[in-house]
Chains A and B, each alone.
Chain A
């Protein structure tokens, strides 16, 4: 009996020692907080959650993910304030709304906490807020990258299907595409609206009046899906160079069928992994890349669509 108690005590002592030891090891790693604007149910951010977890494991740092449960940006501002108050070694945040988040982000910076902006907002806004860098997909550059691909394929006259005309970022994508081709944007960008039937009919009407169009850029599933139908209605599937932003099941199928040449992936995994890596290097050795990081455009083509589909939702 005595021996048993002794053994038990020994076991407890070892467990305690282990817990203390691991506790210390964890405390030595830097602590970062990533604040997103996405509501709980937004699956897109799952990729970023995976990225920061892996980055944390690889680098021996602790990264926690925080978001306003309903996606309310005012709540997000409170979370950034709270994050700054808990004195982390770095904050990674989106600039979902410059007005709302300006104050809290600037306060964190003022307090000497390194901040990296990701995903939303612009590199320009990140610089104004005093963030170290911006990791995301600048819209103009992404459009430009897509345009270079189209140019290589011999596109001379294109159609940009803009389903979100009021958003300046959408116009920038089309502008970048046009600039890469070396043509004037002019009337080649149409305001398609968001209604699927409307988009489809407008695309058909445009292609009928401009039969020499040999390239199409859509800005996301909202405009890509109806455009797919428009092309198949007109028997032009696979005969026009077709690039789109973002991915979806239908777009992936289009890529496999050879109707869509590429889908532009903004590669959220990088938006999670790179900031953690940069912050860690910055904190440990004081080194910092001299420019912003473009996480996209990453092109999904027939060659890699199978891999992307396999990893979708986890790493892509």
Chain B
């Protein structure tokens, strides 16, 4: 916020008598993401002790859980912004499956170039996001119900349309087509960055290599870069722009926000479109990396995204939250999810441990936040 300058101000420069002085430290402590960051530290300490020697913190182990976290982070960012604006989108998971099919069917069966299919999927997903948001805003129904309807509609469409057009529910061969066409857009989602750098690390013996000399980790997957980029842009937008203030205002009290001239409906619709966009980025990265789309992709991911946002300090009631927090929430979720496997716990117990760890992370997170707010 820009400080108004009064030339004949008898207070000290850059000070406003209306503002209470808050130290840098306590300002940091009051941020919503604090709990998630401390939770993440806790999780890392836990796995550092218990899974330190299992390859979890070897280069390929790190790449494994950071890819999972980044994927989840992508949709958590969308879910988080929308939750701050006071709405839910339960159709994120189904949108992932639907967007995947929107890429695979045109490129494999209709002979569209891959870049056009990707653009088609983005256009399609964002329009559905618009419809979703429009219905919520116009009918005033809880977004929980409207997007739940879309959860079923989109999943059904995904299965139905893929059966109708291709007679199957797993559509493979997208990556081969992209490579054949030498598509320029596919590597932006499914490629790996800094391959030369990793090869160089491997050549110098700083990174473990396979027998044939290629390094164990041969680049940073595009999904991680998308995640970092989106996280940076969204956090900046949320805290430093007018639109960011509008998001907080719409979620805090939509009526009051409208009264002071915030276009709350437009903000909400735009954020529904944005969650659809995030889901499509997720889907595109997955389709381009694995080369196939399947009707069951993204099952239950909407809940994971919401959980990540909540761990990150976003309030379920809206009006409060942070993108950085959601990112750390996704990190906690991803690390716990894959870390459990490194601990060698049988899959049957997986959900019990996941639930337990999440509960501990959230309780701890909540505890820290309370302590800090009390200390004020």
Q: What is the interface of chain A, defined by CB distance below 8 A to chain B?
A: 31, 40, 49, 62, 64-67, 69-74, 77-79, 81-87, 97-100, 103, 107, 110-112, 166
CB distance from B346 to the nearest CB of A (A): 5
- Is A81 a contact partner of B347 (Cβ separation < 8 A)? no
- Is B338 a contact partner of A97 (Cβ separation < 8 A)? no
Q: B residues within 8 A CB of A65?
A: 346-348
| Selected contact of A81 from candidates B64, B172, B299, B346, CB within 8 Å | B64
Query: Does any Cβ of A come within 8 Å of B210's Cβ?
Result: yes
- Is A72 a contact partner of B346 (Cβ separation < 8 A)? no
- Is A72 a contact partner of B67 (Cβ separation < 8 A)? no
CB distance from B178 to the nearest CB of A (A): 12
- Is A86 a contact partner of B341 (Cβ separation < 8 A)? yes
Q: B residues within 8 A CB of A112?
A: 211
| Selected contact of B344 from candidates A64, A73, A99, A111, CB within 8 Å | A64
Given the complex of chains A and B, what is the CA–CA distance between A168 and B299 in angstroms?
27
Q: B residues within 8 A CB of A98?
A: 172
| A166/B168 contact (C-beta < 8 A), A81-B64, A110-B210 known | yes
Q: A residues within 8 A CB of B299?
A: 70-72
What per-residue 1/0 map shows which CB atoms of B339-368 lie under 8 Å from chain A? Answer: 001101111101100000000000000000
- Is B291 a contact partner of A100 (Cβ separation < 8 A)? yes
- Residue among B55, B56, B175, B211 with the most chain A CB within 10 A? B55
- Residue among A73, A82, A111 with the most chain B CB within 10 A? A82
Chain B residue at smallest Cβ distance from A73: B294
Given the complex of chains A and B, what is the CA–CA distance between A140 and B56 in angstroms?
42
- Is B292 a contact partner of A66 (Cβ separation < 8 A)? no
- Is B61 a contact partner of A99 (Cβ separation < 8 A)? no
Given the complex of chains A and B, what is the CA–CA distance between A145 and B30 in angstroms?
71
Query: Does any Cβ of A come within 8 Å of B316's Cβ?
Result: no
Query: Does any Cβ of A come within 8 Å of B290's Cβ?
Result: yes
Within 8 A of A (CB), among B295-354: 296-300, 338, 341-342, 344-348, 350-351
26 contacts between A and B (CB under 8 A): A65-B346, A71-B296, A72-B296, A73-B290, A74-B286, A74-B290, A78-B64, A78-B338, A79-B341, A81-B60, A82-B338, A84-B60, A86-B56, A86-B61, A86-B342, A87-B55, A97-B170, A97-B172, A99-B173, A99-B175, A99-B291, A110-B210, A110-B211, A110-B212, A111-B210, A111-B216
Chain A residue at smallest Cβ distance from B68: A78
Given the complex of chains A and B, what is the CA–CA distance between A86 and B50 in angstroms?
13
- Is B348 a contact partner of A49 (Cβ separation < 8 A)? yes
Given the complex of chains A and B, what is the CA–CA distance between A100 and B55 in angstroms?
23
Which range contains the number of B residues in contact with the other chain? 35 or more
Q: B residues within 8 A CB of A87?
A: 54-55
Given the complex of chains A and B, what is the CA–CA distance between A308 and B65 in angstroms?
42
CB distance from B340 to the nearest CB of A (A): 10
Chain B residue at smallest Cβ distance from A97: B170
- Is A40 a contact partner of B64 (Cβ separation < 8 A)? no
6 A-B pairs with least C-beta separation = A70-B299, A99-B172, A85-B61, A100-B290, A99-B292, A99-B291
CB distance from B93 to the nearest CB of A (A): 9
Given the complex of chains A and B, what is the CA–CA distance between A309 and B216 in angstroms?
48
Query: Does any Cβ of A come within 8 Å of B167's Cβ?
Result: yes
- Is A82 a contact partner of B342 (Cβ separation < 8 A)? yes
Q: A residues within 8 A CB of B344?
A: 31, 62, 64, 86
Q: What is the interface of chain B, defined by CB distance below 8 A to chain A?
A: 54-56, 58, 60-61, 64-65, 67-68, 167-168, 170, 172-173, 175, 210-212, 216, 286, 290-292, 294, 296-300, 338, 341-342, 344-348, 350-351
Chain B residue at smallest Cβ distance from A35: B347
Chain B residue at smallest Cβ distance from A49: B348
Q: A residues within 8 A CB of B212?
A: 110
Chain B residue at smallest Cβ distance from A102: B291
| A97/B292 contact (C-beta < 8 A), A82-B342, A87-B55 known | yes
**What secondary structure prevails in chain B residues at the interface with A?**
loop
- Is B168 a contact partner of A72 (Cβ separation < 8 A)? no
CB distance from A24 to the nearest CB of B (A): 15
Q: B residues within 8 A CB of A111?
A: 210, 216
Given the complex of chains A and B, what is the CA–CA distance between A100 and B298 in angstroms?
15
Given the complex of chains A and B, what is the CA–CA distance between A86 and B339 in angstroms?
10
| Selected contact of A40 from candidates B65, B175, B351, CB within 8 Å | B351
- Is B55 a contact partner of A85 (Cβ separation < 8 A)? yes
- Is A64 a contact partner of B347 (Cβ separation < 8 A)? yes
- Is B64 a contact partner of A66 (Cβ separation < 8 A)? no
- Is B297 a contact partner of A72 (Cβ separation < 8 A)? yes
Q: B residues within 8 A CB of A97?
A: 170, 172, 292, 294
- Is B68 a contact partner of A77 (Cβ separation < 8 A)? no
Q: A residues within 8 A CB of B298?
A: 72
CB distance from A251 to the nearest CB of B (A): 26
Q: A residues within 8 A CB of B173?
A: 99
Given the complex of chains A and B, what is the CA–CA distance between A71 and B296 in angstroms?
8
CB distance from A112 to the nearest CB of B (A): 7
CB distance from B276 to the nearest CB of A (A): 19
CB distance from B103 to the nearest CB of A (A): 14
| Selected contact of B341 from candidates A66, A74, A77, A110, CB within 8 Å | A66
Q: A residues within 8 A CB of B54?
A: 86-87
- Is A99 a contact partner of B290 (Cβ separation < 8 A)? yes
Given the complex of chains A and B, what is the CA–CA distance between A77 and B175 in angstroms?
16
Q: A residues within 8 A CB of B342?
A: 82, 85-86
Given the complex of chains A and B, what is the CA–CA distance between A234 and B120 in angstroms?
53
Q: A residues within 8 A CB of B296?
A: 70-73
CB distance from A122 to the nearest CB of B (A): 15
Q: B residues within 8 A CB of A100?
A: 172, 290-292, 294
- Is A67 a contact partner of B347 (Cβ separation < 8 A)? yes
Given the complex of chains A and B, what is the CA–CA distance between A98 and B173 in angstroms?
10
| Selected contact of A74 from candidates B167, B216, B297, CB within 8 Å | B297
Given the complex of chains A and B, what is the CA–CA distance between A265 and B296 in angstroms?
27
| A78/B292 contact (C-beta < 8 A), A65-B346, A85-B60 known | no
- Is B58 a contact partner of A85 (Cβ separation < 8 A)? yes
Chain B residue at smallest Cβ distance from A36: B347
CB distance from A41 to the nearest CB of B (A): 11
Given the complex of chains A and B, what is the CA–CA distance between A64 and B173 in angstroms?
32
Chain A residue at smallest Cβ distance from B167: A166
Q: A residues within 8 A CB of B168?
A: 166
| Selected contact of A77 from candidates B60, B290, B338, CB within 8 Å | B290
